[in-house]
Amino acid sequence: MNAERNNAARTARVTVRAVEGIGEIRPGDDLVQLIWDAVREPGMAEGDILVVTSKIVSKAEGRIVHASDREQAITDETVRLVASRAHENGVTRIVENRLGMVAAAAGVDASNTPEGTVLLLPHDPDATAQQLAKGLRELSGVAIGVLISDTLGRPWREGQTDVAIGAAGVHVIDDLRGGTDAAGRPLTVTMACTADELAAAGDLVKGKTSGCPVAIVSGLRHAVGSLDLPGASSLVRIGDRDMFRLGTDEAIELGRSEGHAEGFSVGYAAGMAAAQASGVNKPA
């Protein structure tokens, strides 16, 4: 399967277009129907991939809470604290959330929401992507893929990029490890994260301010496949393979605490021995 995709000629042209006409989303809205209404003219082609901003999924799911409950909402969405830092406007908390994303404020979002509210991430973005892909495949009659995207910061680089937090019918990773490069040598490490690159491409036309929540990427038919393909949750790397499970300050503090206890034991014994060995401390 991978070899087949690797050997296929790469697409020479990809088009990313913004889907116009999707209005403000309210709790309970039927996203399949709303998106279909917006894309049915001129329609979708086999192999098109829809990139759907997570925000409208959250809104349809009614994942809206009062801004005054923001800190509690972040805590509720948090599995564990990865790193935190105090600054003049408060404390930035980088946490792992229940979706396995490592994100500032657990992904709780205060932009593009009604005044006085914040938005939680969707309940289960992979499941939503499945529903959307299934529904839109039925309505359109063509095999399309769906990604749910969210905006994420990164260590060591300024700014944020969009990544995929939900996926259905898309090869989220283009696993080149079985392939060879142009010189015929094995590509031993390369696993291109197609889903995140698609989400990033979608953001170029969706933007953050335009209120345009869906993009369609055309021209990557080889990236679309069965609805049984792994979702975006397969992109999460936490646990044993995670070399950055704590921020540096947090890890140093953990090590210091452990080291202090060890050092105390060793030092205590050494101090006692030294006292006993010194003349003034000889037993009477």
Pairing of β 145-154 and β 49-53: parallel
Tell me the closest approach of the beta carbon of residue 134 to its own copies, in angstroms: 25
Tell me whether residue 128 or residue 151 sits nearer to its own copies (CB atom). 151
Tell me whether residue 79 or residue 135 sits nearer to its own copies (CB atom). 79
Tell me whether residue 141 or residue 186 sits nearer to its own copies (CB atom). 186
Query: What CA–CA distance (Å, rounded) separates 232 from 125?
Result: 8
Tell me whether residue 132 or residue 163 sits nearer to its own copies (CB atom). 163
- Please give the single-letter amino acid code of residue 87: H
- Please give the single-letter amino acid code of residue 46: E
> Across the strands, what pairs with 95?
81, 103
Tell me the closest approach of the beta carbon of residue 143 to its own copies, in angstroms: 18
Tell me the closest approach of the beta carbon of residue 42 to its own copies, in angstroms: 12
Specify the length of the chain in residues. Answer: 284
Tell me the closest approach of the beta carbon of residue 203 to its own copies, in angstroms: 6
Tell me the closest approach of the beta carbon of residue 126 to its own copies, in angstroms: 15
Query: What CA–CA distance (Å, rounded) separates 153 from 248?
Result: 17
Query: What CA–CA distance (Å, rounded) separates 123 from 117?
Result: 18
> Across the strands, what pairs with 186?
180
Query: What CA–CA distance (Å, rounded) separates 246 from 84?
Result: 10
Tell me whether residue 21 or residue 62 sits nearer to its own copies (CB atom). 21
